[in-house]
Structure 1
Amino acid sequence: MRTLGPGSVSSLLKIGLDVAYVLLWVILVILLLAFVAAIFVPLTDLSVTLDNPAGGREIPLERPLLLFAVGSFCAYFGAFALIVGRLRAIFRTLTEGDPFHPENTSRLRQIGLILAVVTGGVWLWQTWAARLSAGAMEPQGLGELLTPVFSVLVVFVLAEVFREGARLRREAELTI
Structure 2
Amino acid sequence: MRAIGKGSLSSILAIGLHITRVILWIMLGAVTLALIILPFAPVIADIFAGGDAVVFDGDGLVGAEDFIKVSSAFVTFAVMLFVVNRLLEILKALRFGSPFVKENADRFRGIGYALLMGEGAKFAFGFLALIFDADVELNMTFLSWLAIVTVFVLAEVFREGARMKEEQDLTV
What TM-score results when the alignment is normalised by the length of structure 2? 0.78
The one-letter amino acid paired with 2:33 is L
Counterparts of 2:72 and 2:136 in 1: how far apart (Å)?
Answer: 18
Which residue of structure 1 aligns with residue 168 of structure 2? 172
After TM superposition, give the deviation of residue 149 of structure 1 in Å: 1.2
After TM superposition, give the deviation of residue 61 of structure 1 in Å: 4.8
Counterparts of 2:31 and 2:79 in 1: how far apart (Å)?
Answer: 13
- Conserved? CA contact 2:105–2:155, under 8 Å: yes
Residue 42 of structure 2 aligns to a residue whose secondary structure is: coil
- Conserved? CA contact 1:109–1:155, under 8 Å: yes
Which contiguous aligned blocks of 4+ residues in structure 1 show a shift greater than 4 angstroms?
136-140
Task: Determine what percentage of the aligned residue pairs are the same residue.
Answer: 37
Counterparts of 1:120 and 1:166 in 2: how far apart (Å)?
Answer: 30
Equivalent position to 1:150, from 132, 146, 150: 146
Which residue of structure 2 aligns with residue 13 of structure 1? 13
Which residue of structure 2 aligns with residue 119 of structure 1? 119
Matched, 1:68 2:68: yes
Cα 1:4–1:81 shift into 2, 3 Å: same
Which residue of structure 2 aligns with residue 36 of structure 1? 36
Which residue of structure 2 aligns with residue 94 of structure 1? 94
- Conserved? CA contact 1:130–1:138, under 8 Å: no
Counterparts of 2:97 and 2:25 in 1: how far apart (Å)?
Answer: 28
Task: Structure 1: give runs of 5+ residues left out of the alignment.
Answer: 45-59
Q: Which moved more, 1:77-86 or 1:89-98?
A: 89-98
Which residue of structure 2 aligns with residue 163 of structure 1? 159
User: Quick check: which one's strand share is greater?
Assistant: 1
C-alpha RMSD of matched pairs (Å): 2.6
Residue 4 of structure 2 aligns to a residue whose secondary structure is: coil
How many residue pairs end up in the alignment? 157
- Conserved? CA contact 1:130–1:139, under 8 Å: no
Cα 1:92–1:137 shift into 2, 3 Å: closer
Which residue of structure 2 aligns with residue 47 of structure 1? none
